[in-house]
Amino acid sequence: MHESLDPIMNQLDLLDTLLYLEDSLISDFFRRSNTMPYFCVSWIITWCSHDLHDFSKVTRLFDFFISSNPLMALYLTARVIISRRKELLLLECDNAIIHGFLSKFPQEIDVDDLIFRTTQLYQKYPPHELQEISGLFLDKTSSINLYDKHWLILKADDTVDYSEANRILLLPPSERKPDHIVKPKNKRYFSNLSKTHTIALLFAASASVVAVVLIASRWFMRRVKLPMFTKNSSNRTDSSENYFACSTFSYTNPFSFSN
């Protein structure tokens, strides 16, 4: 047991990344409404037993969680949210309304189908990869990060060696933190571009801005030089002709204009 909910809240920070990767509309909806993932805290810490009324569904989920990575409850949470996508996106973009809606775990949900889809999501974005993508890293001694090394290799009749677990529990909190920060592959959902590509894109974007400004300035100057409309039909110029006359320039080179 930990002294606080900080480890759970650190795990919940990864939920936004999962939702973005699987359904960016839901992720954007949460951000616009400033909805925090507090509605699913009980799902994580009680493995849904606090929210599901059907005991057979609870025991089925317990079997699933016991035989899985400790982060699996977070993947299941993401799948539950996505399964309610249609109703969710019809709600008013208000955090109180969204929190109230999502805090009620769907009792009619098909648990076996949910487990299947959760497993698919886990295989698609394993915990280590999810941390790299999000740029949010759990403690190096977290059971989530040590699961493959210390638990997945065990067989049914193996004797569990708790010496490593006891050693970790005796460590001060400062020594449980990640010992290095790996540069995320996709920090906050941006592509992992090389430095050369990034510089090239910046130059291209700058050139585009300059081109637009020059074109707009040229168009404006030509527009100003046009004769004013008068009541005299002989001096009147058709407005559509004025527009196209002002918009005539070479598209071969955005920096050259026909005089």
Mean pLDDT of 94-108: 95
pLDDT band at 11 (very low <50, low <70, confident <90, very high): confident
- The pTM of the full predicted model, rounded to 2 decimals, is 0.62
Q: Are 79 and 117 in contact (CB under 8 A)?
A: yes
Q: Is residue 81's pLDDT more than 70?
A: yes
pLDDT of residue 3: 64
- Res 140: pLDDT: 75
Alpha-carbon gap, residue 172 to 163, rounded angstroms: 16
The domain 6-189 having CATH identifier 2.40.50.100: the answer here is: no
User: What is the per-residue pLDDT for 206?
Assistant: 55
User: Does residue 133 have a pLDDT over 70?
Assistant: yes
What one-character DSSP code corresponds to residue 160?
P
Predicted local distance difference test score (pLDDT) of residue 56: 97
pLDDT value, residue 100? 96
Of 53-57, 67-71, 171-175, 235-239, the least confident: 235-239
Residue environment code for 63-92, b if the CB has 16+ CB neighbours within 10 A, otherwise e: ebbeebbbbbbbbbbbbbbbbeeeebeeee
What mean pLDDT comes out for the span 129-136?
Answer: 90
Residue 139's pLDDT band, with cuts at 50, 70 and 90, is: confident
Q: pLDDT (tens digit, 9 = 90+) per residue, 174-187? A: 666 654 443 444 44
Half-sphere exposure in the Cβ direction for 211 (13 Å, CA): 14
Q: In whole angstroms, how far apart are CA 103 and each of 17, 77, 98, 147?
A: 20, 11, 8, 29
Query: Band of the pLDDT at 156, cuts 50, 70, 90?
Result: low
Average pLDDT rounded to a whole number, residues 149-163: 68
Distance CA(203)–CA(201), nearest Å, equals 5
Instruction: Report the alpha-carbon distance of residue 135 to residue 187 in Å, rounded.
Output: 6
Residue 49: CA count within 13 A, CB half-sphere: 12
